[in-house]
Structure 1
Amino acid sequence: MSDDASPVVAVFRPADERIDRAADFLESLGATPLPDPMLAVDPTGATPADAPIVVFTSKTGVELAAEAGWNPGGRTLVAIGPATAAAARAAGWSVDVVPEEYTSAGLVSALRGRVEGEHVSVARSDHGSAVLLEGLADAGARVTETVLYRLQRPAAAGESAELAAAGDLDGLAFTSSLTVEHFLAAATDRGVREEAVAGATDAVVGAIGPPTAATAADCGLTADVVPEAADFEALATRVVEAATERAAGPDGG
């Protein structure tokens, strides 16, 4: 932990207002944020396919579609979670469905029984889970996927991997499976993968949801915390709490 007893927590949001807000939130929790953007958004210019039901799986997808002039009109609009729904409403759209569980599996569960025989447009990144497409198809839908943007690893990413390798991180807040994969790819590029995994294991590993936790496990990282609500604020809060408790030790200091 840093000299001022503030846990150092790595955050991997895209290099825009999201990582700034994430860093500010970590500071509000008493942590020292280590912003290390692991995602760069490359828009394709595409818009959702013409279908009566349109599913968005991210705030970014909504914003790009709106910027491209797309409007849902009378379509049934589905958002994977509150942040995506809020972005849609900010664009002036009405949101019809938000699942109780903010995952691809949650979307399938929410839509099962209402998509049989329907054409469903899934608008998302190029790294979307197959769970959504396969689940909707199994529910009887005719599914069209539109890639609105590609997610890439910024060339400069990787400071967090070096700090983890040096034992200087107290927590890592992974917000998607891709952030886990890019963190490890950056560690590999810098020649510190084994050390970074060891350092992350000694720190608190946070995963925003079960799919991210599963990816971490497949990569040799066990998620110490997975919040009930799949949002960054819940994730960051749990990571900071766990890192602070770990530093205090079993006797509280």
Structure 2
Amino acid sequence: MTREVRVAVFRPDDERLAEAVELLDSLGATPVPDPMLAVDSTGEVPDEAAYVVLTSKTGVELLAEAGWSPGEATLVCIGPATADAARAAGWTVDLVPETYSSAGLVDLLSDEVAGERVAVARSDHGSDVLLDGLRDAGAAVEETVLYRLTLPEGAGQSTVMAAGRELEGACFTSSLTVENFLTAAAARGLREEAVRGLNDAVVGAIGEPTRDTAEAYGIDVDVVPDEATFEALACLVVERAAPTYHD
């Protein structure tokens, strides 16, 4: 006897959530969409710099909407989704690290940014690893906060399901989605029950920083994909929780 595989996904309520739901459905899972992030644009754009570092597709889209372009700067994107969005905006992407993380960006740039001005344009929840690492490499770093990430009103139905052992999987795509999930659970008085429920399910984290955050809060992470993309994450979670399990 097989069982249903209900997988919670926490992406912002835009095309990313729609694509995630479509992907999970194509994998034979039942998507449980519960956006844990809302995007609040600041309207800011980075100043001119020798290097511009972009760390998200959202940031690219906001800059493109504002009419910004990298000009003569060396454009660095944290991973393939960000790079694809930049190319779609008509920009030339010069560098993408092998490891799609702040640490990967530092490894990529540390030997070439000494004495250079580097603009880092991202959300208000960016890691200090990137700024500190580039400064340690001798760069003059300026951060521009393009958008703030907040917890959407009404988020948290997945926390109720987790507490009730009604989830077979969950896909966390950032440390902030972990933290906001727990905030939403706490607001319902379900934090401990929700964590226990997740620990009976298959929990996926998109990368090591997200895994570290989840585990620091007592959430057991079962899978982390080699490639930090939602598709790779979802495939691993569904494969591990697939309806080949028998009651």
Which residue number in structure 2 is paired with residue 248 of structure 1? 245
Question: Distance between the aligned counterparts of 1:210 and 1:72, measured in 2?
Answer: 30
Task: Report the equivalent of 2:188.
Answer: 190
Kept in 1: contact 2:207–2:224 (CA 8 A):
yes
Q: Distance in 1 between matches of 2:198 and 2:225?
A: 18
RMSD: 1.2
Worse overlay, 47-56 or 174-183: 47-56
Distance 1:73 1:197 in 2: 47
**In 2: Cα distance, 1:232 partner to 1:170 partner:** 17
Q: 1:218 aligns with which of 213, 216, 219?
A: 216
Alpha-carbon shift at residue 194 of structure 1 (Å): 0.6
Q: CA–CA distance in 2 between the matches of 1:244 and 1:28?
A: 13
The residue that corresponds to 2:154 in the other structure is 156
Q: What residue number does 2:23 align with? A: 25
Following the alignment from structure 1 to structure 2, what is the Cα–Cα distance between the partners of residues 75 and 101?
22
Structure 2: which amino acid aligns with 1:248? Y
Q: Secondary structure at the match of 1:248?
A: coil
Percent of aligned pairs sharing the same letter: 64
CA distance in 1, matches of 2:214, 2:245: 26
Structure 2: distance between partners of 1:80 and 1:174? 18
C-alpha distance in structure 2 between counterparts of 1:169 and 1:6, whole Å: 9
Between 1:191-200 and 1:3-12, the stretch displaced more is 3-12
Is 1:60 the counterpart of 2:58 in the alignment? Answer: yes
Using the TM superposition, give the Cα deviation of residue 6 of structure 1 relative to its aligned residue in structure 2, in angstroms: 2.8
Q: 2:120 aligns with which of 119, 122, 128?
A: 122
Alignment partner of 2:130 out of 107, 132, 149: 132
Tell me which amino acid in the other structure corresponds to 2:99: E
Match of 2:85 in 1: 87
Match of 2:206 among 202, 205, 208: 208
Q: Which residue of 2 aligns with 1:181?
A: 179
Which amino acid in structure 1 is aligned with residue 148 of structure 2? R
Q: Map Cα deviations across residues 9-67 of structure 1 (whole Å, 9 max, x no partner).
A: 00000001110100000000000000000000000000012211000000000110111
- Following superposition, the deviation at residue 73 of structure 1 comes to 1.0
Q: Does 1:112 align with 2:110?
A: yes
SS of 1:100's equivalent in the other structure is coil
Q: Which residues of structure 1 form unaligned runs of 5+?
A: none
2:4 maps to 6
> What letter corresponds to residue 103 of structure 1 in structure 2?
S
Q: TM-score, normalised by structure 2?
A: 0.98
Relative distance call for 1:248 and 1:4 in structure 2 (3 A) is: closer
SS in 2 for 1:154: coil
For the residues of structure 2 that align with 1:104 and 1:75, how far apart are their CA atoms? 19
* Kept after mapping to 1: 8 A contact 2:2/2:245: no
Aligned equivalents of 1:220 and 1:189: distance in 2? 18
* One of 118, 133, 144 as aligned partner of 1:146: 144
* Counterparts of 1:192 and 1:155, CA distance in 2: 17
Any stretches of 5+ residues in structure 2 without a counterpart?
Answer: none
